[in-house]
Amino acid sequence: MANHGTGRLPKYRQIAAELRDAIQAGVYGPGDRLPGENELMAEHGVARMTARQALGVLQSEGVVEARKGAGVFVRSFRPVRRRGVQRLAEDVWGAGRSVWSADVESRDLVVDGVRVTEEAAPGPVAGVLGLEETETVCVRRRRFVLDGKTVMLSSSYLPAALVAGTAITTPDSGPGGTYARLAELGCKPVHFREEIRCRMPSAEEAERLQLSPGTPVIDICRTAFAESGRAVEVNEMTLDSASYALEYDFGA
């Protein structure tokens, strides 16, 4: 096993490091059950709380998942490689494909819980979209489930006056999605800005994303701009951090 200088670490972190090395070495493969608390207690001569903390470290890292009444298992879910540049290219949505097609390949993606409403714009969103106090936004909320695992929650905000009467205001926005419909309105997105941060989830987010205790989320806020420089969409996304690798490929 790799040497992590574990002698200087608390005992529970030493045990976690040994288990992590065993997973990386293939001793435990995807879907395999790890030694339980009783086994770790006996093998390492530690208290139950220490064994529990060791397994908890790996759960918080997204390496393993607990299954009620069955134990702790190596995660078998293959992380999503989110290709931040390629997925937003016009030749994707302009050809009638979802921006997700660059991420999921042939995997099973389900978008559910779709709700489309017209609401007052939250202050920060109204500011970005340049809306007056009396103007409203069309809000598209949805959940993304990949291979049976909830991986992302998303809320898109668009000026209601701009998209009124279009498929954007319906659950199915059609081939190419929102960006293709904006292009039809003469507001084709030509520039995007994404802001990324990590934080701990709210209780509701943890439940909806089915997160293991201690797992953080990634917030991505994307703004789409038309050629005029006008912001035409703000999309706030909350991702299960253990389910994603974020990839940005661009020239110097």
- What CATH number does the domain containing 93 carry? 3.40.1410.10
> Any idea what the CATH number is for the domain that residue 63 is in?
1.10.10.10
Tell me the pLDDT of the chain (252 aa) as tens digits. 445 555 588 999 999 999 999 998 999 988 899 999 999 999 999 999 999 999 999 988 878 888 888 999 998 778 888 988 888 988 999 899 888 888 887 889 999 999 999 999 999 999 999 999 899 999 999 999 998 889 999 999 999 999 999 999 999 999 999 999 999 999 999 999 999 999 999 999 999 998 877 789 999 999 999 999 999 999 999 999 988 989 988 888
Q: Tell me the helix, strand and coil percentages in the chain, rounded to 5.
A: 30, 35, 35
Q: Are 212 and 65 in contact (CB under 8 A)?
A: yes
**pLDDT for residue 1:** 45
Q: Which pLDDT score is estimated for 238?
A: 97
User: What domain count does the chain have?
Assistant: 2
- Asked if residue 143 and residue 32 are part of one domain, the reply reads no
Q: Please name which of 194, 186, 188 lies closest in space to residue 223, comparing C-alpha atoms.
A: 194
pLDDT at 172: 94
Distance between CA atoms of residues 44 and 42, nearest Å: 6
Please, which residues have CB within 8 angstroms of residue 189's CB and are 6 or more apart in sequence?
Answer: 88, 179, 182, 183, 224, 225, 226, 232, 233
Same domain, 84 and 58: no
Structural domain contains residue 70: yes
| Domain C-terminal end among 38, 59, 74 | 74
- Looking at residue 6, its pLDDT comes to 53
Q: What is the pLDDT of residue 142?
A: 96
- Residues 58, 119 within the same domain: no
Same domain as 138, residue 61? no
pTM, two decimals, is: 0.79
Indicate if 46 and 123 belong to the same structural domain.
no
Q: Are residues 241 and 141 in the same domain?
A: yes
Residue 222 to residue 236: CA distance in whole angstroms? 7
Range of the domain at 115: 80-247
Of the three residues 55, 74, 93, the one that is the final residue of a domain is 74
Q: Evaluate whether residue 158 is within a structural domain.
A: yes
Query: Are residue 115 and residue 222 in the same domain, yes or no?
Result: yes
Query: Do residues 104 and 121 share a domain?
Result: yes
Rounded to whole angstroms, what are the CA distances from 72 to 56, 65, 204? Answer: 10, 6, 23
Considering the domain boundaries, does residue 235 fall inside one?
Answer: yes
Residue 252 within any structural domain of the chain: no
- Under 8 Å between Cβ of 237 and 149: no
Question: Bridge partners of 54?
Answer: none
pLDDT at 7 (0 to 100): 58
One domain for residues 46 and 111: no
Considering the domain architecture, whether residues 70 and 84 belong to the same structural domain is answered as no
Do 111 and 230 lie in a common domain?
yes
Domain end, chosen from 74, 93, 126, is at 74
Same domain, residue pair 148 and 25 = no
Quick check: is 1 in a domain? no
Question: Which pLDDT does position 35 carry in this prediction?
Answer: 94
